[in-house]
Amino acid sequence: MTPKKRPLILITNDDGIHAKGIRALIQIMQKIGDVVVMAPEEPMSGMSHSITSLIPLRARLIEKKEFYQEYACAGTPVDCVKLAQHLFFQEQKPDLVVSGINHGSNASINIIYSGTMGAALESSMNGFPSIGFSLLDYSKDADFLAAEPFILQIVEDVLRNDLPKNVCLNVNIPAVKTEEIKGIRICRQANACWVDSYENRIDPRGHNYFWLTGDFKANGITEEDDIWALDNNYISVVPVQYDFTHYECIDNLKGRLENV
């Protein structure tokens, strides 16, 4: 099966419509498909799977030309997916949703805080094949195009072969030159956590405020983990789903809590 001519691709992110990462992703995707962009007006880092329900949403047209439409949405990344679906995909579904390229890692436990991956998960919940891309580089000069051949390889594979229902991909890219990328590795989400701290400060009026800081702590990393792949200059690809059930616990808890 060959990919359709000019697939319809929705692009979003969590760093906002002006971010360098989404500009690179738009540039890459325009080479292969018709593109609709719906991304947050403002940076939405750490917004996870949050939605706007207490206030209404707005969207603003930025550019519209043949094969390309771009909108900014005054909401979260997940809002962007939901609103784009409502406005543009009632009849023709997108062939692919890509989210990113995120400025910074969404490997391991970072996925749970990630708006980039929130949008990808939401897309897969709506039945759209979807991929979140992140680059492990926070610097202003980050090179979002270094991994372009690999991004195209992954995108073209998903367009050709699809993904299982309710599964999307969490793709993280090491911050190295194209020729230093060793290839792609399919991984599991590494077991890790943030050991948080806050920097306490006092404002000019004498009141306390707190800045979040923290150290990333990985546990027992093996070659199967995304963290290992990235540390070794591979692109990590984790197939991701959203059933939170811990099945192994069910029987034990049944014995303790059910009165049946």
The residues in 105-134 that bind a copy of itself, with binding defined as CB under 8 A, are 109, 111-113, 115, 118, 121, 125-126
Considering only 83, 97, 119, 142, the residue that binds a copy of itself (CB under 8 A) is 83
User: Which CB sits closer to a copy of itself, 24 or 82?
Assistant: 82
* CB-based contact 176:142 (threshold 8 Å): no
146 is an interface residue for a copy of itself by CB under 8 A: no
User: Which CB sits closer to a copy of itself, 139 or 211?
Assistant: 211
Considering only 69, 105, 170, 172, the residue that binds a copy of itself (CB under 8 A) is 170
Query: In DSSP terms, which residues pair with 212 in a beta bridge?
Result: 198
30 is an interface residue for a copy of itself by CB under 8 A: no
Considering only 3, 20, 30, 45, the residue that binds a copy of itself (CB under 8 A) is 45
Using CA of residue 179, residue 182, residue 188, residue 194, what is the dihedral sign? negative
* CB-based contact 44:76 (threshold 8 Å): yes
In the range 182-241, which residues lie near a copy of itself by CB under 8 A? Answer: 183-189, 191, 193, 196-198, 201, 207-212, 237-241
CB neighbour burial string for 104-136, b if at least 16 within 10 angstroms, e if fewer: bbbbbbbbebbbbbbbbbbbbbeebbbbbbbbb
53 is an interface residue for a copy of itself by CB under 8 A: yes
User: Which CB sits closer to a copy of itself, 31 or 160?
Assistant: 160
Q: How far apart are CA 227 and CA 190, in angstroms?
A: 6
Considering only 86, 149, 178, 232, the residue that binds a copy of itself (CB under 8 A) is 86
User: Which CB sits closer to a copy of itself, 10 or 78?
Assistant: 78
Considering only 161, 178, 222, 232, the residue that binds a copy of itself (CB under 8 A) is 161
Cβ count within 10 A of residue 214: 11
CA 127 to chain CA mean position, Å = 16
Stretch touching a copy of itself by CB under 8 A, among 21-29, 62-70, 139-147, 244-252: 244-252
35 is an interface residue for a copy of itself by CB under 8 A: no
Q: In this structure, which amino acid lies at residue 42?
A: E
Q: Count Cα neighbours of 54 within 13 Å in the Cβ-side half-sphere.
A: 1
138 is an interface residue for a copy of itself by CB under 8 A: no
Q: How far apart are CA 240 and CA 167, in angstroms?
A: 5
Closest CA to 192 of 227, 213, 217, 172: 217
* CB-based contact 13:103 (threshold 8 Å): no
Tokens 């949050």: give the residue: 50
| Shortest reach from residue 170's CB to a copy of itself, in Å | 7
Stretch touching a copy of itself by CB under 8 A, among 21-29, 64-72, 77-85, 91-99: 77-85
